[in-house]
Amino acid sequence: MSATRIAVTGAAPYEVVVGHGLLGELSAALGESVQRVAIIHPAALRLTGEGIQKDLQDNGFQAILIEVPDAEQAKSIEVLGFCWTVLGQSGFTRSDAIVSVGGGATTDLAGFVAASWLRGVKVVHVPTTLLGMVDAAVGGKTGINTAEGKNLVGAFHEPAGVICDLNTLETLPANDFVAGLAEVIKCGFIADEQILRLIESDVDQAKRHDGAHTRELVERAIQVKAQVVSKDLRESTTAAGARVVGREILNYGHTFGHAIEKVERYRWRHGSAISVGMVFVAELARMAGRLDDAVVNRHREILGGVGLPLEYPSGRWDALHDAMRVDKKSRGDRLRFVVLDDVAKPVLLDSPDPSLVLAAYDEISTDTVQSEGVLL
């Protein structure tokens, strides 16, 4: 099957290429004007990084490797500074480029390196996880974490291209693949119900990297994000109670999910935290009189069906609430949540009654201690 090309329009248009065996697409995405390339990759993907380095060198590029820690540990000011040092010592100019190879954390970091070096150099993302393909690599959001919260420091910096080679999913641990499904399912609830139907039609196939619908699920999720960010790159503000049509739609489940990640010191997988976050806002919407029981139950059935967690330990409300208050989606002292009136009908719930928020937490609380976001 030939590669699928999904256009992301806007001020700086680019393509997301989805398919198998796409290494040859990288040179074209970089363009003829680029001579030097820095490949930023996690330690776990050293061999992959070396393979891409050799391919680029064979195609006439000067390519260096910058190895960073795995997962969220890469998204720190210390690692960012290390990357700047390597670029400076290598004499990187504005006509050179960054290539990210890895999951969502690597993509976030490498994108911010590109955005901040010389006020912006070209970046091409080569995501190797499901999460990276359907979420982090598309849309131009870049950033690092601080002690105060996730992604609080960053910039909008659109890539020159995104290459999603589905062959890279073959070596992805099963739990990490299923964690990435959380962002796919999110796209189903906020915009494309066919995603939900495909998963419901065969849950066992949905959990497989080579499942019957894997490619379509990936392409549909990317298409949702591409359509959203093409119209709203910088996340315009939505009025309280209004239908969410801009980039804020992509925050569904993320306010509570990011709070879990911070409280757990990023030991939970992102997808696991977002899964619980979606169940939380579904319960919140139900209590606010916006969402019926059937759609709330559908959240639990689909997310739980693929193996994602639906609960979070009780007794941690104060820490979670404090984390949500400093979340980048909040405004002043007001908590803001994207909720649903129905599938594909997202609205903004701004500063909901605190008693409803606490009651929603009670609905997803459990006395069972879950170990570091391990999928259930």
- 205 in the same domain as 111: no
Helices 254-263/270-287 angle, 10° precision? 130
The string of DSSP codes covering 202-240 is -HHHHTSTT-TTHHHHHHHHHHHHHHHHHH-TT-PPPPT
Q: What is the pLDDT of residues 188-205, one digit of tens each?
A: 999 999 999 999 999 999
Task: Kindly tell me if the per-residue pLDDT of 370 is higher than 70.
Answer: no
Q: What is the pLDDT of residues 94-127, one digit of tens each?
A: 999 999 999 999 999 999 999 999 999 999 999 9
Q: What is the pLDDT of residue 327?
A: 66
Which stretches does DSSP call E strand in the chain?
4-8, 14-19, 36-42, 62-68, 97-102, 122-127, 141-146, 149-156, 161-165, 312-313, 336-342, 345-350, 365-366
- The length of the chain is 376
Number of domains in the chain: 2
Dump pLDDT digits (tens) for 332-356: 568 999 999 999 999 999 999 999 9
Shared domain check, 211 and 161: no
- In the chain, the amino acid numbered 2 is S
pLDDT band at 290 (very low <50, low <70, confident <90, very high): very high
Dist CA 314 CA 271 (whole Å):
20
Residue 375 lies in a domain: no
Query: Identity (one letter) of the amino acid at 176?
Result: D
CA-nearest of 154, 331, 367, 349 to 253 is 349
Question: Is 272 inside a domain boundary?
Answer: yes
Summarize the confidence of residues 281-295 as an average pLDDT: 97
Same domain, 132 and 187: no
Tell me, yes or no, whether 147 and 183 share the same domain: no
Mean pLDDT of the chain: 92
DSSP secondary structure string, 154-178?
EEE---SEEEEEGGGGGGS-HHHHH
Strand-strand pairing, 14-19 and 161-165: parallel
> Per residue in 241-287, pLDDT tens?
567 767 899 999 999 999 999 999 989 999 999 999 999 999 999 99
Give pLDDT, residue 309: 96
Any domain includes 376: no
Asked which of 123, 145, 171 is the last residue of a domain, the reply is 171
* Same domain? 193 vs 301: yes
User: Which domain covers residue 289, as residue numbers?
Assistant: 175-366
H or E element, residue 328: none
Domain co-membership, 218 together with 243? yes
Domain containing 94 — which CATH number?
3.40.50.1970
**Residues 119, 264 share a domain:** no
Residue pair 137/127 in contact by the 8 Å Cβ criterion = yes
> How far apart, in Å, do the first and last CA atoms of the chain sit?
34
Residue 373 lies in a domain: no
State the number of CA atoms in the 13 A half-sphere of 130 facing the CB.
Answer: 33
pLDDT of residue 375: 47
Answer yes or no: is pLDDT of 210 > 60.
Answer: yes
Check residue 232 and give its pLDDT. Answer: 75
139, 156, 171: which is the final residue of a domain? 171
